[in-house]
Amino acid sequence: PIEVELAQSGMTLTVPSDKSILEVLTEAGVEVDASCEEGTCGTCEVMVLEGTPEHHDVVLTESERESGECMMICVSRAKSKFLKLDL
Ligand code: FES
């Protein structure tokens, strides 16, 4: 599981391995823009403030991936146990 903290609302959520970050946020009533939900459109891009994302999308460039500053929350997860997102 990944612990996700939302910097703007102060909310902390647990994302189990069988759910996406997007699914957990949506279930918690957090409004997030999303479209394809398969990592191809770029709509759900979120800035990462802490932690290391594990990218599973096909949108980001190699350098964006390495910077770890943003991620697609519909498919991407985390290498760290904790992520702080700009939401
Ligand atoms: Fe399309 Fe996440 S909703 S990349």
How far is C-alpha 22 from the geometric centre of its chain's CA atoms?
7
Confidence (pLDDT) at 61: 97
Provide the pLDDT confidence category of residue 18 given band limits of 50, 70 and 90. Answer: very high
CA 38 to ligand 1 centroid distance, Å: 6
Query: Which residues have any ligand 1 atom within 6 Å of their CB?
Result: 34-37, 39-44, 57, 59, 72, 74
Confidence (pLDDT) at 44: 98
Mean of the pLDDT values across residues 36-50?
A: 98
Q: Report pTM.
A: 0.95
What is the three-class DSSP state of 23? helix
Distance CA 39, CA 48 (A): 16
